[in-house]
Amino acid sequence: MIWGRYLLSAGLQSSRWRVSCHVKRTYSFLPDDVKSLRAVVNPDISKIRNIGIMAHIDAGKTTTTERMLYYSGYTRALGDVDDGDTVTDFMAQERERGITIQSAAVTFDWKSHRINLIDTPGHVDFTLEVERALRVLDGAVAVFDASAGVEAQTLTVWRQAEKHHVPCVCFLNKMDKPAASLSLSIESIKQKLKANPVLLQIPVGNGKSFTGVVDLLTNQKLIWKLKSSENDGRVFEIKPLEHSDEPELLQEVSEARTALIEQVADLDDEFAELLLTDFSENFDAVPSNKLQEAVRRLTLARKGVPVLCGSSLRNKGVQPLLDAITAYLPAPNERHHDLVRWYKDDLCALAFKVLHDKQRGPLVFLRIYSGTLKPQTAIHNINRNSIERMSRLLVPFADQHVEIPSMTAGNIALTVGLKQTVTGDTIVSSKASAAAAARRAQNEGGTGKKRGEHVSVVLSGVEVPDPVFFCTIEPPTMAKQADLEHALNCLQREDPSLKVRVDPDSGQTILCGMGELHIEILHDRIKREYGVEADLGPLQVAYRETILQEVSTTDTLDRTVGDRRHVVTVELTVKPLEAMSTGGSCEIAFEEKVDGQLSAEVKEAVENGVHSSYLQGPLLGYPLQGVSTLIQSVNMESGTSLAMVSACVSRCMLKAFRLGGGQVLEPVMSLEVTVGEEHLGTVLGDLAQRRGTVRDIQSRHDNKVLIATVPLAEMMGYSTVLRTLTSGNATFSLELDIYETMNTQDQNTLLKRMSGLL
């Protein structure tokens, strides 16, 4: 506990400004008095900011996070990804590879505000980490490489933020790079993200001459004069623009501020009215606080996204970004969650992440939406319909944690002792509390009237994508089988995108994941953390199957078991859906007359039979996708068991699939390669051999950006091949695009290979 108090006193200190007596003002961090534990743990909800850092891989998320921690006083030294000493990338695999693998939560204070920050991965294999973080956050900082603008994975994380209606602030990082371009980045945000970038800063200098920014709201210059490598960027100058400044800069700032005022007026009626009534003769006289208030309204309404500039690695521009987080992103009470209001002051929280600690067991991250969480109390898990006792309550500081006596709404907490809770579960104080919330929902005409008590008051969880790679995994000896099963159970609970199943024919354990790197990391963790030298089989692609034509079939099951006869006849129609997607979408419907005559139990048995048949296609046994089933009649004699109904439906479905003609679907990836023009022809030739289709070739400074779609099966080991072809002078990113029909020749080749003929 002494160590915990030391962390608390060293890490949770607010900033105080030191002002010199010259015209130029120099701002620097000075430690404040340590606050009491209660003040630190439970700040006013309006002062809390729950945010995530999201971006494409290598855009600078973790470096930006490290600078935030340093300038807030949480850390005493600057961490560096290349040196492997960052706070949030604490896993051995993260430090070795220089990438973020799992999202890490850290809490710190900035100017009387509490910031709960989650650093998320940028690699597509770990996209679920971004998804479940954004599900519980109130705002996000999107980090961009200013020389590249919007990249492939940026689109993915932006879509995830939009799905959860998360307001965002954009940070154009790496402004010190020679190829950095403000105009390119702004234009790519407009064109690719379909967003309204609200530019709040203009860079001073470009490339290596980048020294700071001009704040368009206040017309002030923020200059970092880093005279030596030891200068950590804490001290910077703030001074107003003067007529002696470069004419080009003055002209650019004037035009940019005018454009900012016009843009905000177009998007915010209240600000437009203020302009027309009080400042119609001189728009430049608008007070900066009124402009800031308008920008905040735009951000919260998601009509615009504030854009700031800087260079995290060079320690420039991070403090204004922290100011923007507190100024523009919402507090928890400014985000509206319909279900939460039915709980009033009772506890309502969502479990969004699980970690396993060797000493303390499972650690569950909770976002508290209402009420107060206290240790040594029993809680009710609505999803599991179980009661658990939470033994300890912690504040998350990456891989270090501080124990606390209570935590209120709006915060993110780490709990010890919840052994059954998994990602997506809703936690409340008691079953009676959930029932009371359901009654309130029903009285208000909410979803409770339609969906039943418990379902109506359950917070929506996290959508887990289907795996696209799989391989066998075996222990080195049978004596290690139990240890391997324990490791896989723990990892599945931590990572819902990991699927483990046992092959019914061979009895082998199958590991299913989101990509090569995902499975490689899992294999490494099993070895390091659980001491099992597991052997992996060859990596294989998770294909899907569908049917080619509409088919109607009838099947009758007549079976006597003991002295009981079971007779059931099923008539149904299956047909392919027109639209394919990355999800395993299959539909089931009942004809109106059938829907009315069947009991709920029989309907459930029919649905179970349909869903079980979707799990194994007629060609290679892969799950089906893009199939619609219409149940036209179900006739059964008295005494027929529900299990026989399900069995008859499954048999009828299998007959329909065979008559409909099987077709293999393969996952197709969206590929983006940035390469020098001298290597473009070589890369194009290699993609042609991989059955790739080039969609576009764009110019980005001195490089070419190749955008293509390529079957996932052809992308095994692509990073090594690309590095060889281009002498290491190319980068690429992948994103799962769609499941696509294989052509006849490729399908026949696959069928022969899978049957052992090739």
Residues tagged in the binding site annotation for GTP: 55-62, 119-123, 173-176
Q: Are 434 and 386 in contact (CB under 8 A)?
A: no
- Residue position matching structure tokens 């980045």: 185
Give the span between the Cα atoms of 66 and 39, in whole angstroms: 24
- Residue position matching structure tokens 């961490």: 79
Q: Are 398 and 105 in contact (CB under 8 A)?
A: yes
Q: At what angle do helices 269-278 and 288-300 cross, to 10 degrees?
A: 160
What tokens appear for 755 in the block?
């049957």
Give the span between the Cα atoms of 422 and 580, in whole angstroms: 30
Task: Give bridge partners of residue 365 from the DSSP assignment.
Answer: 353, 414
> Which residues have a Cβ under 8 Å from the Cβ of 530 and sit 6 or more positions away?
483, 484, 486, 487, 490
**Binding positions:** 55-62, 119-123, 173-176
* DSSP H stretches of helix in 550-679: 592-597, 600-614, 642-660
Q: Which residue from 635, 688, 692, 640 is spatially nearest to 666, judged by alpha carbons? A: 692
Give the span between the Cα atoms of 376 and 380, in whole angstroms: 13
Among left, alpha and beta (phi > 0; psi -120 to 50; other), residue 538 is beta
What is the CB-side half-sphere exposure of residue 346 using CA atoms within 13 A?
22
CB atoms within 10 A of CB 3: 9
What tokens appear for 120 in the block?
């998320």
- Residue position matching structure tokens 């795996």: 467
Q: Which residue from 546, 530, 537 is spatially nearest to 469, judged by alpha carbons? A: 537
Report the largest interatomic distance among the alpha carbons of the chain, rounded to a whole angstrom. 103
Give the span between the Cα atoms of 522 and 530, in whole angstroms: 11
